[in-house]
A = this chain, B = another copy of it.
């Protein structure tokens, strides 16, 4: 993030007598490994976005032939899976302060932060991706907390799903721009804009809609869900054995 791993760059070559130029990399970080490939790929995507992730581009970043990558990674799909798991490794699943609900809140927030820190990659976090060890531990911890909270297995997995679905989806909807930003010069009848009288509610609310991910927005929805979770749990305790009952709606 802080140093650009640019285009042309020196190699090891211990020429003892030359002055050291701090603008150069000297030691090439070991020979190239699966881990280094994945880390470099994640870095590249964080900096330049997902479309910039190209086997060829990644190879030049690592100062290596494109085909060298295939010694450490089956193909691009596997590479992306590994990147996702690397990202999920950043989620803090070890907090143990407070009761299960506050631990759960901390966990989901940490998940959200990891996704936000790699939002370009987060766009891909989906069914396409196989769950790696970090992902597995993350799920394990979450389900564990829910069981501890008193949920039965069926409902625990429903709740897990709702929480992570929300957090993952948040990255996707993120940069919604409800109105075409219409610099009026830009040949901009891309869409025939709707007349404002047809969208009164949006115009009434628009200063709050914007904010492109205004602070606290994620937490607001999370609290909505957690309030629902507590309500479900309370109502399950009233009618203990009939947890079928708690699944209905409308």
Contacts and interface: CB of A to CB of B under 8 A. Distances in A.
A200 B153 CA distance: 12
Interface in A163-214: 164-180, 190-194, 198-202, 204-205, 207-209
Nearest to A106: B250
B137 A199 contact: yes
A174 B127 contact: yes
A152 B207 CA distance: 12
A219 interface: yes
Contact of A158 (B127, B158, B168, B217): B217
A102 interface: yes
Contacts of A165: 166, 169-170, 172-173, 221
A161 B173 contact: yes
- Chain A facing B: main interface SS: helix
A221 B173 contact: no
Interface in A141-166: 141, 143-144, 147, 153-162, 164-166
A223 interface: yes
A180 B139 contact: no
Task: Across the A-B interface, give the 6 residue pairs with the lowest CB-CB distance, nearest first.
Answer: A169-B169, A127-B175, A162-B221, A224-B228, A227-B228, A144-B201
Interface of A: 78, 85, 102, 105, 123, 125-128, 130-133, 135-137, 139-141, 143-144, 147, 153-162, 164-180, 190-194, 198-202, 204-205, 207-209, 216-217, 219-229, 231-232, 247, 249-250
11 contacts: A127-B174, A130-B177, A130-B191, A133-B193, A137-B194, A141-B201, A153-B204, A154-B208, A161-B220, A165-B170, A224-B232
